[in-house]
Every structure is written in C-alpha cells, then in structure tokens.
Amino acid sequence: MRNLVVTAFALILATSACTAQETMAPIPESDAVWGLVTLDGAPFEARATIGFPEPGLIAGEAPCNSYSGELRGSFPAFELGPLRVTRLACTQLEAERAFFTALAVMTEAEAADDALILSGPEGRRMVFNRLQP
C-alpha cells in the first residue's frame, strides 16, 4: 500500500511539473527589445531595456549606460554571468543602481504575449513590455 501511495504521489508531481512547463512560454525571439515597466511592483520611471541578441547573450540599456553579458542555463531558469557596462554618468544613477541590483538576482523568465517577466528570490520581479521597432 505504501508503494502505491508513493507511486501515485510521484505521478501527481510529475504531471504538475509538465503542466507548469507547458504553460511557460520560451524567451522571445532575438530581435525583440523589452522596456522595463515595473520593478518589484512599483512603476519604473527611467528608461531601461533588455534583449537577447543570440542564445547565451543578454544586452540592453540601463538608465545611463548600455550593458551586455552572458546568459547561462536554459529558460525558464537562468543565471547571469558578469555584465560589461559602459561608464557614463547621468542624473539617473540611482535608478540605474536599482535596475542592475534587481537584474543581478533574477533567476526565472516568462514571456506572455507582449510581456516579459523576470523573477528572483524573495518575490523580486521585473516586468517588461515589448517595445515597438
């Protein structure tokens, strides 16, 4: 009886995992550029973008500087490698710090329609909308 219960529980878990993965859309195509709309539920007033120019790479513009770097893992889970960032000063350095601090801890991505949602530990969340070319 115990083996039957364990087997049934394992089957339920496996089915749940498949369903969750099937609803998760892949990361968007390489020519898409996404603009940050909210950071941890609050509107992000500065301009910041993200894109995936080719597999394994991330690039975009923070409020003051452009950046690029390595993207490790396979979606929906991922990890960022070190980022290369230009060093321009501007009046939005506080927004830039908030952007890079949040981006550094993101570990999951979900694309749905015209939205890209990055999430990380402790409920951190970045919501991007597709920018029109």
Domain boundaries, the chain: 27-130
Q: Express the helix, strand and coil content of the chain in percent, nearest 5 each.
A: 30, 35, 35
In this prediction, residues 47-53 reach a mean pLDDT of: 95
Amino acid in the structure at residue 67 = Y
Among 2.40.50.320, 2.40.128.270, 3.20.20.70, 3.40.30.10, name the CATH number for the domain at 27-130. 2.40.128.270
Could you tell me which residues come within 8 angstroms of residue 57 by beta carbon, excluding any fewer than 6 positions away? 68, 69, 70, 71
Residue with tokens 């020519």: 31
Q: What are phi and psi of 93, to 5 degrees?
A: -65, -30
What was the pLDDT predicted at 17? 39
Q: How confident is the model at residue 75 (pLDDT cuts 50, 70, 90)?
A: confident
